[in-house]
Chain A
Amino acid sequence: SAVISQKPSRDICQRGTSLTIQCQVDSQVTMMFWYRQQPGQSLTLIATANQGSEATYESGFVIDKFPISRPNLTFSTLTVSNMSPEDSSIYLCSPDGVDGYTFGSGTRLTVV
């Protein structure tokens, strides 16, 4: 399975600012998925990112709030924009895989 490096592992940010989360995979993958896990909740898919095209966002998530880049087949970024305390969550990336899905170690974001 793919080796995934996600940065930063955690951050504390001021409301109104933005944070960009990076996800690097050790092999080329077609799709990259970004998830949010709010405190005490399950994982919710934010968007799916394909290289060379705009990301596809799930209901309740918009590009202005969560812009995603996918410059090549091994890298993607998710930006959480104009943050509020409600954005405090764990954010995880996951590349598509042949024998199931694996996840980055997550970014634990706290907005104060």
Chain B
Amino acid sequence: GIQVEQSPPDLILQEGANSTLRCNFSDSVNNLQWFHQNPWGQLINLFYIPSGTKQNGRLSATTVATERYSLLYISSSQTTDSGVYFCAVDCGDDKIIFGKGTRLHILP
């Protein structure tokens, strides 16, 4: 089956810093999503981005489907950005496969 790899696994940054999270996938996908899981466990959908670039405030994402990767950019980090960021892909069989996540810790 498809493999989804996220890097880095852990990231500690000072408030105000910028960060780039990466998601590599091993096969063609129909859909790719980025999620933020907050400390209470809730999964927040950040981007639905099978290809191209999208921006929402301080967050943006780019997926290059032909090269099988996606990037999530977080600018001017805030402590509320802390949590785990997951990349998930849909291969067309109505299932989504999650990466192992990047645990982000923003220090005040």
Q: Tell me whether A102 and B94 are in contact in the complex, defined as CB-CB below 8 angstroms, given that A42-B86, A43-B86 are known contacts.
A: no
Residue in B closest to A108 when the chains form the complex, CB atoms = B41
A48 in contact with B96 given A1-B45, A108-B41 (CB within 8 Å) = no
Write the chain A residue with the least CB distance to B101.
Answer: A42
Contacts of A96 in B (CB 8 A): 94
Q: Are B43 and A42 in contact (CB under 8 A)?
A: no
Tell me which of A41, A90, A101 contacts B96 (CB under 8 A): A101
Q: In the complex, which residue of chain A has the Cβ closest to the Cβ of B50?
A: A100
Contact B95 A48 (CB under 8 A): yes
- Establish whether residues A100 and B94, one from each chain, have CB atoms under 8 Å apart when the complex forms: no
CB distance from A9 to the nearest CB of B (A): 9
Interface residue count on the A side (C-beta < 8 Å): 21
CB distance from B101 to the nearest CB of A (A): 6
Q: Which residues of B contact A99 (CB under 8 A)?
A: 48
- Given that A42-B86, A42-B101, A106-B41 are known contacts, is A31 also in contact with B94, CB under 8 Å in the complex? yes
Interface residues of A in 58-112 (CB under 8 A from B): 90, 92, 96, 99-103, 105-106, 108
A100→B33 contact, CB < 8 A: yes
Which residues of B are found within 8 Å of A13, using beta-carbon distances?
Answer: none
